[in-house]
Chain A
Amino acid sequence: MELILDHVSHSYGDVTVLDDISLSVGSREIVCIVGPSGCGKSTLLRILGGLEKPDGGAALIAGDPPSDSLNPLTYVFQDFALLPWRTVEGNVSLVLEDHGIDRARKREIIADVLARTKLTEFAHAWPRQLSGGMKQRVAIARALSVNPAAMLMDEPLSALDSQTRDLLMDDLVDLWGQVGFSACYITHNLAEAVRLGHRIVMLSRRPGRIREIVEIDIPLAERANHPEETAAIQRRLWEAMRDEARAADRELSNVA
């Protein structure tokens, strides 16, 4: 299955946020979208997942999602969005309950995704007992449990400290090696993009246009062994983004 944005434009009132964006996320592909804050990244992701209608253009799906996918387009949010009144297990269970899965199968899925995200021993913990990194693991486990055709991740690691972020990036790479999910991964952190993206799409400041697309053909699992190459790509991206970021920073806006 392929997820496509076809000449998408969007404005809020008279503020144009996205201007003629076309891109696609293929299966088993992680596309990272980077851009200065306020350039419309979150808006783009909401359009991609059907939470918002674009003013122009369209979000399209090519091909059928796998038949066992319960929720083909699945979000992972920056603020985790866990229900505080449900345990880790209960939070994963929540998204399976509407699908009429029998009890045994449900338990099996939950055990599987918790094991993949190294959460098995925390199955009965409350969210308030977990660190930020653990909470995001739960959110990722929840997303995996519905077997998504594409994960839509909006700065999933931005609320975490840098060490936790590094650990979780490694885990995501492992996870991708196991299940090969496809993802549209939004970040403003170039190190994340260079570590996780098969393709990096850089947006300009508002109105967001595609400035540059960089393909990185070093396999994800091997990137840690190629520090020079990745650092060089990151530096080049930063050169391109610096002026945009500086200008964006000086704009008056209510950035969400």
Chain B
Amino acid sequence: MSLDATQETASRTPADAKGADRAPARERLRPVPFRGGGFVHTRHRLIAPLLFVLLLILWEIGSQTGFISNIALPAPSEAAAALGDLFETGMIWKHLSASLYRLVIGWSLGSLLGIAVGLAIALFSLVRAGVAPFVSALFPIPKIALLPLFIIWFGIGEGSKVATILFGAFFPTVIATYGGVDNVDRNLIRMGQSFGLSWLSIVRKIIIPGALPAILSGFRISASIAIILLVAAEMIGAEYGIGAYILMAGALFATDQLIAGVALLSVLGLTVAWLIGRAERLLLRWRG
């Protein structure tokens, strides 16, 4: 079938559409069915906020009409009022600064140590043989279970809380780092050696940048773990902090405050995820 023939048929069809001899030829002309759809992500930026607002409205209506019992769940407006209280009294800054201090110190130290130990495991076979099994053995232990020990070792104050977060962030970072280094293209390392680069240059310019994507995805996990542990640690012997606030609200069955606290945590988590996303875009520009 030549293209010319089809065009001819198509152009003539309107004129003698009723022509008996043309009809079958026209019937044969139809587009190839398209089968390539689906399985491709398209970005829908508005869906999530819209859905969220819709849920809030439904929830508010449910509470107002008494469909949702006030004892079971406070109305969003009440939680918002509790949040407003926090701002009015200025307590929000006390809680937030206490929590952020623990989170930032614990997570940063844990991540730095984790990267250092992860690199050591990846680069020195002796360290790998000696330390890697310990990491595997200690990683799955919930660090909250160790909190009493940490309190004995580091005191009931900031020390034990920071230590809990530090250890929580440490292990996933170690594993992400040495996994990342193991996956660096061996050919690139061989290239570095063949040009006579020093050991330190190869580590700094080839191995670490090559492991960076894995380390940054490790950060996503370790940051979430850090937030979970933050709340847990603040539930013991903390005066201020989002965790302490939530615990206090729970003890008084002030569910509006409890929801307000949980919302704060959620915002904290989103902020951290956003920051890591920014860091990824900045540091991994070369991936495009």
Bound CA span A85–B185, Å: 13
Given known pairs A83-B209, A128-B286, the reply for A71 and B195 (CB within 8 Å) is yes
A185 interface hit (Cβ, 8 Å): no
A97–B212 Cα distance when bound, in Å, is 21
Residues 63-90 (chain A) with a chain B CB within 8 angstroms: 70-71, 73-75, 77, 79, 81, 83-86
B271 at interface (Cβ–Cβ under 8 A)?
no
Residue in A70, A81, A86, A97 with the greatest tally of chain B CB atoms within 10 Å: A81
Scan residues 266-288 of chain B and give those whose CB is less than 8 A from a CB of chain A.
Answer: 284, 286-288
B197 in contact (CB, < 8 A) = yes
Q: Is A83 a contact partner of B188 (Cβ separation < 8 A)?
A: yes
B189 → A minimal CB distance (Å): 9
Complex: A49 Cα to B193 Cα, angstroms: 11
What separation, in Å, do the CA atoms of A77 and B195 have in the docked complex?
A: 12
Q: Check: A255 CB closer than 8 A to any chain B CB.
A: no
A81 x B191 contact (CB < 8 A)? yes
In the complex, how many residues of chain B place their beta carbon closer than 8 angstroms to a beta carbon of chain A? Answer: 22
Interface size on A, residues (CB 8 A): 24
B196 is an interface residue with CB less than 8 A from chain A: yes
Q: Which residues of A contact B190 (CB under 8 A)?
A: 51, 81
By beta carbon, the residue of chain B nearest A146 is B195
A60 at the interface (CB under 8 A from B): no
A85 touches B191 (CB 8 A): no
Q: Does B6 contact A (CB under 8 A)?
A: no
Given the known interface contacts A75-B194, A95-B197, the answer about A83 and B205 at a Cβ–Cβ threshold of 8 Å is yes
Contact B286 A75 (CB under 8 A): no
Q: Is the CB of A77 within 8 A of B191?
A: yes
| Closest chain A CB from B242 CB (angstroms) | 37
Partner of A94, one of B185, B205, B286, B287: B205
CB of B65 closer than 8 Å to a CB of A: no
Q: How far does the alpha carbon of A128 sit from the alpha carbon of B191 in the complex, in Å?
A: 18
B193 touches A51 (CB 8 A): yes
Are A74 and B195 neighbours in the complex by a CB distance under 8 Å? yes
Residues of A close to B288: CB separation below 8 A: 126, 128-129
Q: Which residues of A contact B192 (CB under 8 A)?
A: 94
- Output the residue of B194, B197, B284 with the most chain A CB within 10 A: B194
Q: How far is the CB of A71 from chain B (nearest CB, A)?
A: 5
Q: Mark B43-66, 1 if CB is under 8 A from A, else 0.
A: 000000000000000000000000
**Interface presence of A98 (CB below 8 A):** yes
Docked complex Cα distance between A49 and B196 (Å): 11
- The answer to whether the Cβ of B206 comes within 8 Å of any Cβ in the partner chain is yes
Given A81-B188, A83-B188, A94-B205, answer yes or no on A49-B194 (Cβ-Cβ < 8 Å).
Answer: yes
In angstroms, Cα B187 to Cα A123, docked, is: 23
Q: Which of B197, B212, B286 contacts A126 (CB 8 A)?
A: B286
B residues near A (Cβ < 8 Å) are: 185, 187-188, 190-198, 201, 205-206, 209-210, 212, 284, 286-288
Which residues of A line the B interface, CB within 8 A?
A: 49, 51, 70-71, 73-75, 77, 79, 81, 83-86, 94-95, 97-98, 126-129, 142, 146
